[in-house]
Chain A
């Protein structure tokens, strides 16, 4: 697709973060998932006549924690409102949410781009609300089943300013939020379960022109899909505009499997939600003291962790950002570095071999078959010369396949690097004796050429030792003998 001239892309995100509280936001019912439908649907969750909400204080604290982590204004007084609409999985006929007076005000987040540039993305506000239930369309013979286990699960909705101008920036921002909420421990970050959901508002314009009409794309349950969905929508909008068409304000649903999107509803279908303050709940008051306590208890946040990695491990800003980004990656990396006694090596392995494997098999680092402890053990063996880096990859592979710890694999498969110089000397002598022509050629070469030509002999020795020889030692011996 070729587009003429410059287009500017304007992106804003709305992010739903499911709070990892034990109980729901207004009912005290367990937030446990995976049980039979409606197992965790109490009188309140069912919207029974006469029932009343009582707000979960931990949900409030979690929202404040988030606000503090993004340097936002924390509202000392915030108000729950009712968003009225009919839907079968919305038991009360309204969603309790916040609108005019949200708990978290304006804040900002710094994102790191691959170019090395940094950018500030402003957060407009974040508010608390309850999730709806689920409509089940299968197994009901043309009817719809309702599961209210999820109804009333606490969410914070984070609304950004339209500060991003590319898919890369949007994904970096999304990853950063993911990293912040998982570091805070207020959300498990599991996007596949919808525990973190991203809606992307996209518009395009010619430089210098006012903002174009935006669309909202929903259902982006991975960062990869987000990136693709943005590219798709940006291209679609530019196509429409360049063909002389107009963008319709609408909500679009992205399908990751087919990399397509379709219009879900246009602005004309939009409900009038008739928001008004919920008379069953008092305004939420947060005191200076509460805020101070929560601030003091904040765990290490991604920015601080990144700075520490740069300082403590001498990592590049980009590497430090990648490793500190997700709390799971950070934990894995730090454990591997500690066990291995070499942060640099640990960083290379985590971002290299491990990341490639995880990617190839579409696995989460938390579910990595090679534990951080095992990777540390492998790094130790590499460092102390027990194995070469080539063998290390072989051990890693075996460990990934469940053959046990690196030490056990090295032992069982006899992969220990040859340390007996007598034995190695014999092999070196043999290789030299077996290759008279190459020896002749080597000896007639100048120093520069010799450096290249010695590779042949190293290769032969490694072959004979099945890679178990220490390459440095081999080099030294060859140089002496040749």
Chain B
């Protein structure tokens, strides 16, 4: 049952091949058996999952088939879920029982989804290896000595090991796409404003976007169909009609213009990674797509610009964790200042503190113009580069990550090297564009991913491209051994 895609499981549920309860129990059982090794879940909500599964079975019996009725989904622990601990991977929120539910989760629940639990993540989504989690690192199921990527590492690893058939993640600088690539699954970051941010604990508000991770592009389309849409509670959530992502999947890619930016294939890029992405594009070329070389000169500046803007916003977003109203509070504070200092020093981990400091510095009087303002200018240049490119091409492709999964601890003491893991994904967040990563083969037994970037609100198009690719390849069907 667990090797099936969400799309196949949906058909099985509707045909009465199995019940949602059976399906849910099956995945809960797999989590019990295998997650000790992987650590992909922070919280498993068994009781609630079974309740939701029973309700789904009743709905199916009554002929009420919604988009996700009865399908088990794992939510990243960054989404508030009423009555359930929502830790954001941090000691700061280890005791935080969310009093409300995030819109993205709520919308999936309304479509009948069953929540299996909350997945592990880098603390406050700050990291590219899932090693910054208060709950310990997640292991990559393809090689448990390696990282799953981050920050949605629990989602991607759990999905790859088939502990859940579908998952949600969030992507601020690559946090859905990079772990998807490193675990051999498909992950989509939608257009900024496509999915509501209400209830999603903010890292960098102008970059954060929720999206699905699945075993296939079709599964991502199915989940996005449920997640996307306007939300009055989020001023930055756009009021644009939601396209029929499922309906667009099968379109031909004959004549599709694929932009290939030279900046995604720099001289120092690992040849195997470059070849892997080129091979994926050749497959689409076989189906009639045209490859067009282009240049996005400003994206070279995306990592430095990102590491000013994201920490700046984070330094402000994380101010609310002060030990006063919720979350971690130090023991016996002497006075107010002591309460603040110790609650925050003890509650936050090293990477979070590093980014708060960087962001605080970037916004300080006298430095604001030199850092934050300039970074915003770079951001506009990057956006302009993409806009120009999309006049000539339909999608832009390249490798998702400059490397496959690296060893646990390999970069732990080298933050700048770690930040480079997101070199190909960050520009997309700065521009606010939709992009996905799809499995495109293996390098030394480890999954590699190829990124497909679309123009604003072209989620349907990039899902379609990935789906056509997956119709012709079986990389996405490969599962790691050892999790039977």
Interface positions of A (Cβ within 8 A of B):
43, 46-55, 82, 84, 86, 88, 91-94, 144, 146, 272, 274-276, 279-282
Contact with A along B210-248 (1 / 0, CB 8 A): 000000000000000000000011111000000000000
* Beta-carbon contact of B320 and A49 below 8 Å: yes
User: Which 4 residue pairs of A and B lie closest in terms of their CB atoms, listed nearest first?
Assistant: A93-B319, A274-B363, A279-B205, A279-B206
Residues in B with CB closer than 8 Å to A84 are 315-316, 319, 363
Known contacts A49-B96, A281-B235; A274 and B322 CB within 8 A of each other: no
Residues of B within 8 A of A82 (CB): 316
Cβ–Cβ < 8 Å partners of B235 in chain A: 52-55, 280-282
User: Which of B40-48, B195-203, B463-471 binds A?
Assistant: B195-203
Alpha-carbon distance between A46 and B99 when the two chains are bound, in angstroms? 12
Which B181-209 residues sit within 8 Å CB-CB of chain A? 197-202, 204-206
Residues of B within 8 A of A53 (CB): 235
CB distance from A308 to the nearest CB of B (A): 43
Contacts of B123 in A (CB 8 A): none
- Given contacts A48-B99, A53-B235, is CB(A276)–CB(B312) below 8 Å? yes
The answer to whether B316 and A51 touch across the interface, beta carbons within 8 angstroms, is no
Contact between chains at B197 and A52 (CB < 8 Å)? yes
Asked if A93 contacts B233 (CB within 8 A), the reply is no
In the complex, are the beta carbons of A276 and B368 less than 8 A apart? yes
Question: Given A91-B320, A279-B313, A49 and B201 touching (CB < 8 A)?
Answer: yes
Seed contacts A49-B80, A49-B86; 19 additional CB < 8 Å A-B pairs: A47-B325, A48-B80, A49-B88, A49-B93, A49-B96, A49-B202, A50-B79, A50-B100, A50-B197, A50-B198, A52-B234, A52-B236, A53-B235, A54-B232, A54-B235, A274-B315, A274-B316, A274-B364, A276-B368
- Contact (Cβ within 8 A) A93 B200: no
Chain A residue numbers with a CB within 8 Å of B372 are 276
Asked if B456 is at the interface of the complex by the 8 Å CB criterion, the answer is no
Q: Are B363 and A52 in contact (CB under 8 A)?
A: no
Say which residue of A50, A54, A91 sits within 8 Å of B325 (CB atoms).
A91
A195, B336: Cα distance in complex, Å: 28
In the complex the two chains form, what is the Cα distance from A46 to B80 in whole Å? Answer: 15
20 CB contacts below 8 A, A to B, read A43-B99, A43-B100, A46-B326, A47-B320, A48-B326, A49-B80, A49-B202, A50-B202, A51-B198, A53-B235, A54-B232, A84-B316, A88-B336, A146-B325, A272-B364, A274-B363, A276-B316, A276-B363, A279-B205, A279-B206
Q: A265 → chain B, closest Cβ, in Å?
A: 15
Known: A93-B316, A274-B364, A276-B372. A52 touches B326 (CB 8 A): no
Cβ–Cβ < 8 Å partners of A92 in chain B? 319-320
User: For chains A and B in complex, what number of residue pairs have CB atoms within 8 angstroms?
Assistant: 104
The CA-CA distance from A281 to B206 in the complex, in Å, is 10
* Set of chain A residues within 8 Å of B201, measured between Cβ atoms: 49-50
User: Given contacts A274-B316, A276-B372, A282-B235, are A50 and B80 in contact (CB under 8 A)?
Assistant: yes
Q: Hey, what's the 0/1 contact readout for B90-106 against A, CB within 8 Å counting as 1?
A: 00010010111010000
Which residues of chain A are within 8 angstroms of B325 by Cβ–Cβ distance? 46-47, 91, 146
- By DSSP majority rule, is chain B's interface helix, strand, loop, or mixed? loop
B316–A280 CB distance below 8 A: no
The CA-CA distance from A88 to B80 in the complex, in Å, is 23
Cα A94 to Cα B314 in complex, Å, equals: 12
User: How far apart are B41's CB and chain A's nearest CB, in angstroms?
Assistant: 20
In the complex, are the beta carbons of B99 and A86 less than 8 A apart? no
CA distance A94 to B96 in the complex (A): 21
Complex Cα distance, B364 from A275, in Å, reads 8
Q: Tell me the residues in window 75-89 of chain B with beta carbons closer than 8 Å to chain A beta carbons.
A: 79-80, 86, 88
Give the CA-CA distance A53 to B198 in the complex, in Å.
9
- CB closest chain-A residue, reference B100: A43
CB distance from B118 to the nearest CB of A (A): 13
A154, chain B: closest CB distance, angstroms = 16
A50 touches B319 (CB 8 A): no
Q: A49-B201, A50-B102, A93-B320 are in contact. Are A272 and B365 (CB under 8 A)?
A: yes
Residue B119 at the A interface, CB < 8 A? no
- Contact, CB under 8 Å: B319 / A86: yes
Residues of A within 8 A of B202 (CB): 49-50, 280
Question: Chain A: which residue is nearest B327 at the CB level?
Answer: A49
Complex Cα gap A276–B100 (Å): 28
- Distance in Å from the Cβ of B82 to the closest Cβ of chain A? 11
* B360 CB-CB contact with A under 8 Å: yes
Whether B100 lies near A48 (C-beta < 8 A) is yes
Pick the contact of B198 from A52, A272, A281 — CB < 8 Å?
A: A52
Q: In the complex, which residues of chain B have a beta carbon less than 8 angstroms from the beta carbon of A51?
A: 198-199
> Given the interface contacts A93-B319, A94-B319, does A86 sit within 8 Å of B340 by beta carbon?
yes
Q: Does B292 contact A (CB under 8 A)?
A: no
**Closest beta carbon of chain B to A133's beta carbon, Å:** 10
For A280, the closest partner residue in chain B by CB is B205
Q: In whole Å, how far is B71's beta carbon from the nearest beta carbon of chain A? A: 24
